[in-house]
Chains A and B, each alone.
Chain A
Amino acid sequence: MYTQALDIPDASPSDAKPAKLASTTPAAHAFAHPELQARFDARIDADGKIEPQDWMPEAYRKTLVRQISQHAHSEIVGMLPEGNWISRAPSLKRKAILLAKVQDEGGHGLYLYSAAETLGTSRDQMLEALHTGRAKYSSIFNYPTLNWADVGVIGWLVDGAAIMNQIPLCRCSYGPYARAMIRICKEESFHQRQGFEALLTMMGGTEAQRQMVQDAVNRWWWKCLAMFGPPDTDSPNSAQGMRWGIKRISNDDLRQKFVDATVPQAEVLGVTLPDPDLKWNEARGHYDFGAIDWDEFWATVNGNGPCNQERLATRVKAYADGAWVRDAALAHARKQQQRALKEAA
């Protein structure tokens, strides 16, 4: 999962603010390498790909490292809210599906960390940034999953929004990122469909089950709309991202696409979306929808969401608890290596 829109400055968690995103300055570096810069620009203009060994402006590299690593962090933190439900899934079938989905998220994190590593940052550096709270991840995972319907809604809406965000990234100008996204998008469609189907099953159940679904939709809908990132007017980095071929479609356009695609799905499911202003606009050919609470969004980005601390603590604990496994594997590998060398001697 998650997002092109999540390209948020990592440095100080208290600073991230809408219109105050640190704007990147590609200019300084370009002066030093006008010829290389020209070649880079020409390739971008021709919709070509940049590969790890190619020269690239420092700001392009930095932006990609930040965006891809945030994306990777989002995948592995995203395992946590759903992981909570593996042992409580209502049937063996749902449990197997959820296990497969959570395993996919881990795999997606790995594809993305690998892509970021090609830019010259190490896995350990990225994990360190996550674990010390310097790096961001998608805010959507800082909300709790209160009942089983939440798991279905995460599949249908959260993964649905993620797919909307990710499909344009398959055409990203940086080769390794684009290739990782192609793999991810192929796998992600199962995530959305399984969620929708789980909800459909609940809607065919008792009145209490139907209410659970509606309650979960009510709690997640606005958070999903915020996943597409701040409005275009508050996204100063967007133009640069577009210029670089990293971003292809604007936050607001993607958000509109998501709303337009989701409203008919909600009708099939038999739930209402919690927005009194949501209605078809014949003139625009799109659904109109109400205002998003951006203060709440930024409060969560800046560490004050309901689950920020819990998610990070769980992640850090898992990493610390796994240290002996990593060490033991290395010790074993070294021993095997020495044995082989001794036999060869």
Chain B
Amino acid sequence: MSTSHTPEAAPRPLGEWPLWEVFVRSKQGLEHKHCGSLHASDAAHALQMARDVYTRRQEGVSIWVVPSAAITASLPDDKAEFFEPAGDKIYRHPTFYDIPDAVGHM
């Protein structure tokens, strides 16, 4: 990963605070999950705002904030071929295999 990639450092129109995506871990042991977005002037500010907006009722024990501009997304599923290769590989699923009942749970 390129260390010089700092989306925040890019020049930006200054009328509006930049957009951040917010991920919250609801409890220890679970993954962070995307829960929304917000505008904030910098990362520390975004964390503060995320706490106030998304964890008013103890919904989280940990928060990540990521500049929205830093997210690279796959194309919308109109371009389904991106995911198609997995479509015909049903042997990747356990249900593909017939096992005699006598074996019991496997």
Contacts and interface: CB of A to CB of B under 8 A. Distances in A.
Do chains A and B interact in one complex? yes
B84 to A, nearest CB: 16
Number of contact residues on B: which range applies? Answer: 20 to 34
A123 B57 contact: no
Interface string B19-42: 100000000000000011111111
Main secondary structure of the interface of A (DSSP, over half): helix
Nearest to A106: B53
Contact of B41 (A53, A117, A122, A329): A329
A53 B15 CA distance: 25
B8 to A, nearest CB: 6
A122 B16 contact: yes
A341 interface: yes
Contacts of B73: 53
Contacts of B40: 329
Interface residues of A, number: 29
Nearest to A43: B77
A336 interface: yes
Interface stretch (A107-115, A228-236, A247-255): A107-115
A336 B42 CA distance: 9
Contact of B15 (A55, A124, A336): A124
A109 to B, nearest CB: 10
Contacts of A111: 36, 53
Interface of A: 36, 39, 51, 53-55, 100, 103-104, 107, 110-111, 114, 117, 122-124, 179-180, 183, 187, 326, 329-330, 332-333, 336-337, 341
27 contacts: A39-B78, A51-B76, A53-B75, A53-B76, A54-B76, A54-B77, A55-B76, A103-B52, A103-B56, A107-B52, A110-B38, A110-B53, A111-B53, A114-B36, A183-B35, A187-B56, A187-B57, A326-B41, A329-B17, A329-B41, A330-B14, A332-B42, A333-B41, A333-B42, A337-B9, A337-B42, A341-B9
Interface of B: 8-9, 14-17, 19, 35-42, 45, 52-53, 56-57, 73, 75-78
